[in-house]
Amino acid sequence: MNKPARPLDGVKVIELGSLIAGPFAARILAEFGAEVIKIESPDGGDPLRKWRKLYEGTSLWWYLQARNKQSVTVNLKHPGGLEVVRRLVAEADIVVENFRPGVLEKLGLGWEALSRSNPGLVMLRLSGFGQSGPKAQQPGFGAIGESMGGLRYVTGFPDRPPVKTGISIGDSIAALWGALGALMALRHKEVNGGAGQVVDVALYEAVFAMMESLVPEFDVFGFVRERTGNIMPGITPSNTHTTKDGRHITIGANGDAIFRRLALAMGRPDLAGDPALADNAGRDARRDELYALIDAWVAGQDEAQVLAALAAAEVPASRIYSVADMFADPQFLAREMLQTVRLPDGRDCRMPGVVPKLSATPGGSEWIGPALGEHTDAVLRALGYDEGRIAALRAAGAV
């Protein structure tokens, strides 16, 4: 049976990166059909292989982050290893890298060198501060990007220090921008007859680009958005509330008609009919009063009662899900967001499904993250290396 077509079938990607931002961007491309060859050091490979929870010595995160990729071990400090990379890049459409700026240039693998042999190459470069500017050479991880880009400053409660989100969101946002940028560069090359180009993604800029109206509000009004906990000033009501049985739910009733439905569900027709609360500005002016009333209503009922009442009233609401909640939720199951894969020892394991959903050419997961160097010999053979040459490279420590 033929595999269904995928939108990136025929696109070849060389991944020169580790950990989160670069590999996540390449993972997105791999999920939609790109052939992704991940270059790893023979000495242990990507550190993500050993991050967080390990199963039989390998990170479960690795199995997810490297799905659909081929692992090729190359020693970038050996001339023979560098030659392997150059030959791979000469046939590639995209290179993804997240080294500190200047590192690849020192290895002879910078943009100028690689694009000379492959003028159509798209090079996605992810780094803390981008390829230019006074901070370009400084190290920068996702946490630094979140801090400099403004996200950390507005996250948390006003009487406490800023807090992080529970995941490496800065890296993930940068990866999404990177994948989008690489595909736009491919589109330009294919449709407009353009050459290849560099896609330069700075982690702090990736986060900064998500910060809504932060900049114009400061520029026009001198307004500095501060931490406000679970509410969003200027958008009311939208908050987290605690039920009688101690569960936390989020209610988003900031639309005018939705607020009226919420008020009626609460048994408060007076609020539903109050002209002063008919629009968002009026509700926000009485924010504290409304939140106190909603808090009291939610606190008087169990979670199931509150959610049932809000569902009947067509008011957007949800419990705040743990992963255990996700495993039991029919929406996740119906949308195939929990897919079963098989670990190397034969154990079944569920992993997130692919996003977004394409109706005609959907993405998918063909295999989980490979063993270190699993595809080295096959990839070298495809480049034209014979068995003797491969053995010589391995003996010399080049691969």
Q: What are 66-86's pLDDT values in tens digits?
A: 999 999 999 999 999 999 999
Query: Per-residue pLDDT for 2 more than 80?
Result: no
Query: Per-residue pLDDT for 327 more than 70?
Result: yes
Q: What are 108-126's pLDDT values in tens digits?
A: 999 999 999 999 999 999 9
Q: What are 40-68's pLDDT values in tens digits?
A: 999 999 999 999 999 999 999 999 999 99
- C-alpha 240/C-alpha 339 separation (Å) is 30
Query: Per-residue pLDDT for 157 more than 80?
Result: yes
- C-alpha 174/C-alpha 178 separation (Å) is 6
Question: Is-contact 65 370, C-beta < 8 A?
Answer: no
- At 218 the pLDDT is 98
- Provide the whole-model pTM: 0.94
Tell me whether residue 46 is one of the annotated catalytic residues. no
Query: Per-residue pLDDT for 219 more than 90?
Result: yes
Topology of the domain comprising 238-321: formyl-coa transferase, domain 3 (3.30.1540)
Average pLDDT over residues 255-279: 98
Question: Is-contact 88 56, C-beta < 8 A?
Answer: no
Q: How far is CA 269 from CA 92, 213, 274, in A?
A: 64, 34, 8
Average pLDDT over residues 174-183: 98
Average pLDDT over residues 221-229: 96
Q: How many CA atoms lie within 13 A of 313 on its CB side?
A: 24
**With respect to CATH, is domain 12-210+336-395 assigned 3.30.413.10?**
no
User: What ranges make up the beta strands (E) of the chain?
Assistant: 12-16, 35-40, 54-55, 58-59, 69-73, 94-97, 122-127, 197-202, 238-242, 248-252, 317-319, 338-342, 348-352
Query: Per-residue pLDDT for 3 more than 80?
Result: no
Q: In the chain, what are the domain boundaries?
A: 12-210+336-395, 238-321
- C-alpha 175/C-alpha 187 separation (Å) is 18
- At 32 the pLDDT is 98
Residue 194: band (very low, low, confident or very high) from pLDDT cuts 50, 70, 90: confident
- At 144 the pLDDT is 96
Report the mean per-residue pLDDT for the chain.
97
Average pLDDT over residues 368-388: 98
Q: Look up residue 325 and give its two tokens.
A: 């909640």
Give the active site residue among 9, 43, 159, 171: 171
